[in-house]
Structure 1
Amino acid sequence: MEIAIEARDEKREEDLGREIDEDEAPAKRRRRRIRCPLCEWEPDGKPYWICELCHAQFDTFETHASCPECPNRWKHTQCIGCNRMSLHEAWYEDAEE
């Protein structure tokens, strides 16, 4: 099993607790497909990622690139399939239901 260790971003983005505008709500109800933008590997829900600060193991897509044990957060995610880094947000694709 390969384990990716996410590199810490210097700047923590504060977007938790943001209210959804009613005009935004329909787009938020769409199902989101998650896959590597470079090789199209799809995560299977297993906790492959490890926080380099507190060593918590987690599924970065369940926590949206935030450590569940400490305030660490990442902009980039390493793919388990190809081992390359890409923007975490680039992994998400909207799909019509």
Structure 2
Amino acid sequence: MNPRFIFLPFNALVGAIMGAIVGYHFEPAAMNQHIRTCNLRALWSLFQKTNLPEQISAAETNLGPLTAGFSRIRCPSCGWRPTPVARWVCTNCPQPENFWGGCGTVWNTFTTQAVCPGCGHSWRWTICPRCNKWSLHQDWYVKQTEQGG
């Protein structure tokens, strides 16, 4: 008996369950790509430095002119403010972006107005590394009235 034949019903079952949970159907190849992407995201998060306020060092708070352009950027959900050293990855993103052409480029999304320098994809959504919530990229920019000026 072909060993691949044994796993086909299992893959179909997992695909059906995943489709019911997240609201769309995975083909086996797409499901494997999604699992690899999730694994890479998890691995990437291990190398990310936490940005909880109580863990920010004095040296990081004295970035001066480097962070001047970032003073009006914050996560709409939790208020976290990115610095120039914060990084995002261009990867497949089924929800909410519905984007499957991730190129793997690592960059600061706020230096390019959410346009990937590797593939040119214009990201509509940005995830916060602190609270892991997605928000429209334009909502990250604080308006003058919100900032008090």
Q: Shorter chain as normaliser: what TM range?
A: 0.5 to 0.7
Q: More helix by proportion, 1 or 2? A: 2
> How is 1:6-17 mapped onto 2 (pairs within 5 angstroms)?
none
Q: In structure 2, which of residues 108, 113, 116 is the aligned counterpart of residue 59 of structure 1?
A: 108
1:83 Cα offset (Å): 0.7
User: Alpha-carbon deviations, 1:22-60, whole Å to 9, x = none?
Assistant: xxxxxxxxx960000000000011242111121110000
Alignment of 1:60-75 (within 5 A): 60-75=109-124
Moved more, 76-85 or 47-56: 47-56
Match of 2:136 in 1: 87
* Equivalent residues of 1:47, 1:57 under 8 A apart: no
| Percent identity (aligned) | 41
Q: Which structure 1 segments of 5+ residues have no match?
A: 4-30
User: 1:47–1:58: structure 2 CA closer, same or farther, 3 Å change rule?
Assistant: farther
d(CA) in 2 for partners of 1:2, 1:38: 20
4+ residue segments displaced more than 4 Å? none
Instruction: Report the Cα distance in structure 2 between the residues aligned to 1:43 and 1:32, rounded to whole angstroms.
Output: 9
Aligned CA RMSD, in angstroms, stands at 2.1
Alignment correspondent of 2:48: 2
Match of 1:21 in 2: none
Question: TM-score, normalised on structure 1?
Answer: 0.63
CA contact (8 A) 1:34 1:93 kept: yes
Aligned residue for 2:109, secondary structure, equals coil
Report the count of equivalent residues. 69
Q: What is the CA distance between 1:2 and its match in structure 2?
A: 3.4
Between structures 1 and 2, the one with greater strand share:
1
2:67 is equivalent to residue 35 of structure 1: no
TM-score normalized by structure 2? 0.42
Paired with 1:71 and 1:44, the residues of 2 have a C-alpha distance of: 22
Which segments of 5 or more consecutive residues in structure 2 lack a partner in the other structure? 1-46, 50-69, 92-101
Q: RCO (CA 8 Å, sep 6+): is it higher in 1 or 2?
A: 1
